[in-house]
Chains A and B, each alone.
Chain A
Amino acid sequence: MAFLTPFFLLGLSAIAIPVLIHLIQRERKRVVEFPSLMFVRRIPYQSVRRRRIRHWALLLLRAAAIALIAAAFARPFLRQGAAAAAVGGGAREVVILLDQSASMGYGDHWDRAREAARTAVRGLGNDDRATLVLFSRNAEEHMRATADRSRLEAAINAAKAGSDSTRYGPALKLADSILSRSSLKRRDAVLISDFQKSGWSGSEDVRFPDGITVNAVSVGAPGTANLAVPSVTFARASFSGQERIAVTAGLSNKGDAPLEDVPVTLTIDGHEIQTEHATVGAHASGSVTFTQFTLTGSNVRGSVHAGSDLLPADNTFHFVLTPSAPVSVMVVDSGDRSDASLFLSKALSIGTTPTFQVDVSPASRVTPPALEKRAVVVLNDTMFPPAGGGGALERFVERGGGLLIVMGDHASWPQGEADLLPGRLGATVDRTTGRSGSLGYLDYSHPVFEVFKAPRSGDFSAGHVFRYRALQPGPTDRILARFDDGAIAAAERKVGAGRVIVWTTTLDDTWTDIAVKPIFLPLVHQLVRYLAHYEPATSWVTVGQVLDLNARAKDRSNRIVVTPSGDRITQSGAGQGNEGLLELSQQGVYEVRWSGAAAGRPEAIAVNLDPVESDLTPLDPRELVAAVTGRATPTSAQPAVAPEMTREEAERRQGLWWYLLMTGLLLLAAETVISNRLSRREKFL
């Protein structure tokens, strides 16, 4: 032990005072002369000179009080404590990362996580600062750099497990930014989670600098079993002018044991329609298809519920169904062959989402009214239809129609309609000699080819191109695809509200064999969907998505949004910026009531958990810590240089003087009481 002001230890010499008082007994200053103490001496007493210390406890009490008070003034502190504190680096900056994703609702994970957070708060020193960050897919500060433990605990108590998926990257990045800006020497991050593997891909590009410690607190339990309904699909069919839907629910068993006879219930507008029983093997998937039902109106709410387990949130899947309207497509060909548009019409006839209502007509017989009713017009290897002349086709496109121009032997383009064509046509390029051509470049950022971006989504290079028309694109035209020789295979031009795409080879088997390749059908569907501005009716969205209600509202009217938990959010249709955005943070069905809308059911938006959140496979926390800190061992990081703590700082942190002073004063009070009682009992002092 060391002392900040050792000079005050001289006060310990005052301990001799009570000893002397006990022995010498000079406290009686008043002397009374008496003729003779002959009789006084006969009364039993102790001579002062022969006096010995009788009340050892009282003497020790006084001596202890003096010693403690003198020691308090000397300001002691423990060297070992100071060294430990110096090694630790003094005050800490702590970031508590609390996972509130949907998977934390499994069993008691959330309660244990909050308790771990409270433990971290209780472990804070007087000079430490802590930030509470709640994260799931995103991360958000809930209490910034405070030493107020009560506020931190209150924030922890108020936190709830959410419905969003898990991503550790944003939380760790936020912690990194907070800790990197801290001026304190010790910086710790406490990550409390079930460490779901799906939340960490390893490519989050998060790396803490040296000196930051990451403590991983796992609340996950081994051997979690979870049944989930990750998705549903709908088979639509038309019957007697009505659309009938067959719902197929997918089941996913993430547990080690098979699940047998699991009840799976389909509910439509609150009515249980049908219950099936399914058996799903361990770590396997299954499905249940329900009987078709007739879709009678729009915004029909449905849900599929399967079994029960410790994570009930993913046992229910919500959806909203609206009857789909077919996309009207007019295929205009040359008419010289009956099968000129066979491949095209066949491909479009297979579509279900959407269905395509295809009419094939020779160019000579196309009438302007026929164009008006269409979503997309395909000029399939034909001349410019006379009905489209005079700007009729251009007006069709300008009003939002889609135009697909397919080149071929018969295709031609009048000079007067050059504004529609995405470029200037050139000569036919023959690739029949030598190696045939193929598609070599696709703009995967374009909505047409975006769906093909993922690996094994379609092999465009398998198709052979024998001939194509050369195309010189305009400055504003977008190149969508090129052949292997660099020539343009597809280009787009936007005209007004509509879109025009030119395909410089055929969509049959005359100039290319793409029509007989598996890629043909999805290519055609994507081209037509894009040109038709087709947005598939989303039966559900995932928690965390943000909807722009202003974009959905044709007249930008005001609306009231009712969340699944019953909260009401009022939005103004005339709002600017983020006013019209609705963050879907809860699982369930949101209702949007548009002001001025006709009476009827409100628009419903079904929101479901991200299916990956149902996979509770844990990640080894050490792996995450190692990836983030760059250290393989999960031990606390030592600061590069242990800062030297001053004696004053060490003493101030320990504050022993306060306890010594209080104890000394208490002893003095006790001594006063005891000595008064003893003096009353004794005849002599």
Chain B
Amino acid sequence: MQQQALPGARFVDPKILMRIGNLELLARNVVEGFINGLHRAPYFGASIDFAEHRGYVAGDDIRRVDWRLFARTDRFYVKQYEADTNTNLSVLLDISRSMTFASRGVPKLEYGCFVGGCLAYLAQRQRDRVGLITFDDDIVSHVPPSAKHFNVVLHTLERAKAERPGRLDVPLHKMAEHFRRRGILVLISDFYEEPDAILEAIKPLKFLGNDIIVFHVLDPAEIDFGYEDASSFEDLETGEQVPVVPESLVQEYRALMQAHIMALTTRFSEHRIDYTVLNTAEPLDRALFSYLSSRERLMRVR
């Protein structure tokens, strides 16, 4: 892969891909697709995987009649097989201003771009269609899912700039109108809203039958609040400044953050939405490998 020449190619880091390259991003739900892929189609079709019997009706292909069962029952039954299809993978990337934060190393936005890029690559390799939507307080850019849009996705990731404050409800509700086919939606954000509001924003997408994967990207400073000097803290979203003596509130802040994460974990779990907290200090390959492998195991069990 010519990373230097291709915009956004850097988001498909070979080191990361090397780690996760053997994994498959399997859709939790049965998705629709027209190309044989990894995902379970909601319909029975030609496949090597036997699903179930049903009574013969006029017009069925007589090659599907299970003659052994006829011999046992003197009745005509046909076999139904599970059909593998391809799916849409859309990366929903929050590019609000809070995503530009970086206490050290990688900004959250860039980290999210890496996540989105790698997952897009994984999906594209699985012959899934990939798309991208970037949003802040509204949809910024929309790359419809397509097998040919991988490079466009990378290009769009490359050009993503966090310039405005963000919110989830408006852009996600708009997205719900765009998505006509069920697919995998990878929502990457820092989720600085109330858990109820977040769920309310995501629910329309869930109700459409999409398989939603949520990545909660946080900087270590947002988790630990490891500041020492009393300073004025400026909200990147609103611009509001508040004087803070960190040592006086660090414990309470950490507790609030953990409570927020726990609340999201609970809420997303209730709605069968995969929720993962990504710490930008943690290597992405490890984080994605951990997530994808656990997801794959879960899917195989079904």
Measuring CB to CB, which residues of chain A are less than 8 angstroms from any residue of chain B?
Answer: 25, 28, 30-43, 45, 47-48, 682-685
Contacts and interface: CB of A to CB of B under 8 A. Distances in A.
B245 A40 contact: no
Nearest to A30: B231
Given A35-B108, A48-B241, 18 more contacts: A25-B243, A28-B243, A31-B231, A32-B233, A32-B234, A33-B236, A34-B235, A35-B101, A36-B236, A37-B233, A37-B242, A38-B192, A38-B193, A45-B242, A48-B243, A683-B249, A684-B248, A685-B245
B249 A36 contact: no
B257 A39 contact: yes
B74 interface: no
Contact of A36 (B98, B243, B245): B98
Contacts, number: 88
Contacts of A45: 242, 249
Instruction: Sort A-B residue pairs by CB-CB distance and give the 4 closest, nearest first.
Output: A683-B248, A35-B98, A36-B192, A39-B256
B236 A43 contact: no
Which of A33, A48, A685 has the most CB atoms of chain B within a 10 A radius of its CB?
A: A33
Contact of A683 (B219, B233, B245, B257): B245
B237 interface: yes
A32 B253 contact: no
A33 B219 CA distance: 13
B260 interface: yes
A39 B260 CA distance: 9
What does DSSP make chain A's interface, helix, strand, loop or mixed? loop
B237 A36 contact: yes
B192 A35 contact: yes
B236 A685 contact: no
A685 B192 contact: no
Contacts of A32: 227, 231-234, 244
Contacts of B257: 39
A413 B108 CA distance: 157
Interface string B251-271: 011001100100000000000
Contacts of A683: 245, 248-249
B28 to A, nearest CB: 29
Given A31-B241, A682-B245, A37 B235 contact: yes
A41 B234 CA distance: 12
24 contacts: A25-B243, A31-B233, A32-B227, A32-B231, A32-B234, A34-B221, A36-B190, A36-B235, A36-B237, A37-B238, A37-B240, A39-B253, A39-B257, A40-B233, A42-B256, A43-B256, A45-B249, A48-B241, A48-B242, A684-B242, A684-B244, A684-B248, A685-B230, A685-B243
A40 B253 contact: yes
Given A30-B229, A34-B236, A41 B222 contact: no
A31 B230 CA distance: 9
Contacts of B192: 35-36, 38
A28 B108 contact: no
B90 to A, nearest CB: 24
Contacts of B243: 25, 28, 48, 684-685
Contacts of B98: 35-36
A31 B242 contact: no
A35 B107 CA distance: 11
Interface residues of B, number: 34
Given A36-B98, A36-B237, A682 B242 contact: no
B248 A34 contact: no
B236 A40 contact: no
Contacts of A37: 233, 235, 238, 240, 242
B291 to A, nearest CB: 22
Contacts of B232: 28, 30-32
A404 to B, nearest CB: 122
Interface in B75-106: 98-99, 101
Contacts of A684: 242-245, 248
Counting chain B CB atoms within 10 Å of each CB, the highest count among A34, A38, A40, A41 belongs to A34
A25 B245 CA distance: 13
A32 B190 CA distance: 18
Contacts of B256: 39, 42-43
A43 B245 CA distance: 12
Interface string B158-197: 0000000000000000000000000000000010110000
A35 B237 contact: yes
A683 B230 CA distance: 9
Nearest to B193: A38
A34 B242 CA distance: 10
B102 to A, nearest CB: 10
A246 B250 CA distance: 115
B123 to A, nearest CB: 28
Nearest to B255: A39
A41 B235 CA distance: 10
Contacts of B101: 33-35
Q: Which of B237, B243, B244, B245 has the most CB of A within 10 A?
A: B243
Contacts of A30: 229, 231-232
Nearest to B241: A31
B226 to A, nearest CB: 12
Contacts of B193: 38
A445 B222 CA distance: 123
Contacts of A43: 249, 252-253, 256
B62 to A, nearest CB: 64
Given A38-B192, A39-B253, A33 B245 contact: no
Q: Which of A31, A43, A45 has most B Cβ within 10 Å?
A: A43
Contacts of B231: 28, 30-32
B261 to A, nearest CB: 11
Contact of A40 (B230, B244, B260): B244
B120 to A, nearest CB: 25
A30 to B, nearest CB: 4
Contacts of B252: 43
Contacts of B244: 32, 40, 684
A32 B242 CA distance: 10
A67 B243 CA distance: 30
B166 to A, nearest CB: 10
Contact of A31 (B190, B219, B234, B237): B234
A40 B219 CA distance: 16
Contacts of B227: 32
A41 B256 CA distance: 11
Contacts of B108: 35
Nearest to B221: A34
Of B99, B244, B260, most buried by chain A (CB within 10 Å of CB) is: B244
Contacts of A42: 256
A683 B235 CA distance: 18
Nearest to A37: B235
Contacts of A48: 241-243
A47 B192 CA distance: 20
Given A28-B232, A30-B231, A682-B245, A35 B222 contact: yes
A682 B234 contact: no
A39 B108 CA distance: 18
Contacts of B253: 39-40, 43
Contacts of B233: 31-34, 37, 40
Nearest to A41: B242
Contacts of A40: 233, 242, 244, 249, 253
A28 B232 CA distance: 6
Q: Which of A28, A31, A41 has the most CB of B within 10 A?
A: A28
A48 B232 CA distance: 10
Nearest to B108: A35
Contacts of A31: 231-234, 241
A561 B257 CA distance: 107
Contacts of A34: 101, 221-222, 233-236
